[in-house]
């Protein structure tokens, strides 16, 4: 009798567990993950839908006779395509890509397409990684994606150098989707570390747009390169587990994040898209939720559509406000200053959370320089001059104990 009385309770528990699973896996919208972030502006978000269209163009075999063009076309001049690499040419080392000289926007663009479900080589690149397998610039990166990025850098550095020297005022942009997004993020980091191979191009002329990127860099690198790399996610989700932040090997989405919100909980259909942005540390996107909208949220076609809708709304708002041209220019300068301050605050936050190897880049905009023998040196790294007010101040004895050991003769020697 007593066991029978417990059956309804067990059924209720079972129903609650099943309901929670359905909520998390099928109905989860990830609309609240970035609720405390700032709102993106049209000026900073303008390249995103354009880069999405450019990435889509990599899928075309002939840009003069496109098959998959979105409404309005790709916005590319076929005569400005510098080169195109297929799977046969890359030998499966990396997904197909192209280099485009965007003369309308004074930009040299390298674009890498996303994962091809029918290509075994793409899976081999994605699965070529173990936790903590590959170190890079004081952090950890995805091994397969780093090898793909290195292959592209070795193959195309001369062409990129020629284009940069021929167009000294142009920016250098890397963009990719999914698997390609992780590759271009690491490619941008390689370029930063090897700027001498590209004619010492200034750091502020290099940028990257990673659309729905694979997790590819450790947290310290994700934050430190946030002035270069921009990740775009549509209804993605993130982790708030601070214990994971202490694992230096764990990989995350890179750079500054742009979160496009098109759905809210308990709402049918979509809402007018909103874009929030930040350089988060403890609220950084980590994984995708396998919901009923997973494939559309990760699709480059859908991201291009929603990002363009979001940009149109931003532009309409600015037109309604009738912002004068001079004020728009002042706003762009102010926006750059705000991004710089937010970037520094994120680095400070990383130090306060004891994220391993969380230091700032040099004020000259470089990380590890390459010496004559090709080895990395750390002379350009600078420690952040601030710590959290909640952390205990460290005196000289504590610092000496942390950095030095006492040998048998009583002499101090630097810890290895």
Average pLDDT rounded to a whole number, residues 395-402: 52
pLDDT exceeds 90 at position 367: no
E strands of 235-346, at which residues? 237-238, 251-252, 256-261, 274-278, 285-287
Question: pLDDT-based confidence at 403, cuts 50/70/90?
Answer: low
Beta strands 256-261 and 285-287, pairing class: unpaired
pTM to 2 decimal places: 0.78
pLDDT, averaged across the chain: 80
The percent of residues in the chain predicted with pLDDT above 90, rounded, is 50
Buried-exposed string 306-334: b where 16+ CB fall within 10 A, e elsewhere: bbbbbbeebeeeeeeeeeeeeeeeebeee
Average pLDDT rounded to a whole number, residues 400-406: 58
Helices (H), 27-142: 42-45, 47-58, 87-90, 120-127
Question: What does the pLDDT read at residue 27?
Answer: 52
Q: Could you give the 3-state DSSP secondary structure of residue 43?
A: helix
Residue that wins the pLDDT comparison between 393 and 126: 126
């Amino acid at each position: 009798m007593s066991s029978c009385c417990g059956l309804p309770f067990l059924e209720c528990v079972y129903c609650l567990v099943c309901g929670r699973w359905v909520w998390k896996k099928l109905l989860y919208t990830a609309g609240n993950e970035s609720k405390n972030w700032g709102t993106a502006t049209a000026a900073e978000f303008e390249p995103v839908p354009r880069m999405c269209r450019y990435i889509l163009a990599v899928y075309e075999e002939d840009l003069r006779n496109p098959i998959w063009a979105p409404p309005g076309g790709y916005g590319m001049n076929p005569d400005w395509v510098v080169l195109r690499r297929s799977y046969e040419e890359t030998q499966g080392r990396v997904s197909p890509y192209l280099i485009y000289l965007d003369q309308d926007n004074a930009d040299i663009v390298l674009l890498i397409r996303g994962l091809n479900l029918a290509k075994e080589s793409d899976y081999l690149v994605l699965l070529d990684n173990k936790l903590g397998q590959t170190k890079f610039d004081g952090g950890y990166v995805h091994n397969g994606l780093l090898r793909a990025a290195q292959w592209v850098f070795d193959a195309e550095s001369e062409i990129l150098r020629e284009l940069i020297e021929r167009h000294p005022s142009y920016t250098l942009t890397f963009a990719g989707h999914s698997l390609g997004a992780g590759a271009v993020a690491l490619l941008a980091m390689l370029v930063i570390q090897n700027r001498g191979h590209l004619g010492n191009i200034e750091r502020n002329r290099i940028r990257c747009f990673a659309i729905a990127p694979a997790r590819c860099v450790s947290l310290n690198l994700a934050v430190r390169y946030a002035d270069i790399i921009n990740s775009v996610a549509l209804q993605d989700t993130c982790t708030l587990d601070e214990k994971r932040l202490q694992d230096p090997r764990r990989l995350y989405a890179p750079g500054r994040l742009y979160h496009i919100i098109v759905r809210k909980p308990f709402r049918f259909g979509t809402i007018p898209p909103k874009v929030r942005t930040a350089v988060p540390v403890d609220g950084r996107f980590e994984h995708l939720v396998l919901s009923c909208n997973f494939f559309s949220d990760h699709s480059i076609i859908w991201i291009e559509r929603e990002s363009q809708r979001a940009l149109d709304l931003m532009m309409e708002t600015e037109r309604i406000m009738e912002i004068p041209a001079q004020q728009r220019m002042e706003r762009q300068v102010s926006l750059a200053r705000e991004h710089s301050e937010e970037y520094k605050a994120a680095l400070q936050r990383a130090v306060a959370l004891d994220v391993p190897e969380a230091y700032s880049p040099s004020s000259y905009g470089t990380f590890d320089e390459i010496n004559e023998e090709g080895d990395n040196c750390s002379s350009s790294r600078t420690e952040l001059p601030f710590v959290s007010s909640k952390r205990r101040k460290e005196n000289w004895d504590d610092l000496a104990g942390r950095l030095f050991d006492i040998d048998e003769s009583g002499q101090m020697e630097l810890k290895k």
